[in-house]
Amino acid sequence: MPNWSTYPVIVLLTSIVWLSVTFLTKPEKDKTLFDFYKQTQPGGPGWERIIVKARAAGTALVTTNQKWSVPAGILATLVGCVTIYGALFSTGYWIYGYYTKASILTLLTLIATVVLVKLWQRIKTRVF
């Protein structure tokens, strides 16, 4: 097998196994899902069916009105990458005397930093 095909084959085989296990095993009991939701309050659209099912069973699951922060967290991760790489490359450009590129990247890094701080303030939650 050529070297380039090793990773795609591993991904394919792994995907076949986890999809098979997912569809061939019994789902968790509703009580287990209800207990998990009560403890973690995961949020997101994927849990809506469980919340509706719990309401129908007379169980209250939602104990907080916090917004789901995963999309904002993903965006913060991407903006953080722009900030870090912008700082690294702009520093290199300043050192090697490419002042135009350095100035543009420094400005981009500063803007990304401000955006990151605002995102962080929005998604910051209290951890127990």
pLDDT at 69: 76
Residue 20: the pLDDT is: 97
3-state secondary structure the chain: CCHHHHHHHHHHHHHHHHHHHHHHCCCCCHHHHHHHHHHHCCCCHHHHHHHHHHHHCCCCCCCCCCCCCHHHHHHHHHHHHHHHHHHHHHHHHHHHCCHHHHHHHHHHHHHHHHHHHHHHHHHCCCCC
The mean pLDDT values, 10 residues at a time, for the chain of 128 residues are 90 97 94 90 86 89 76 92 97 97 98 94 64
Quote the pLDDT of residue 1: 77
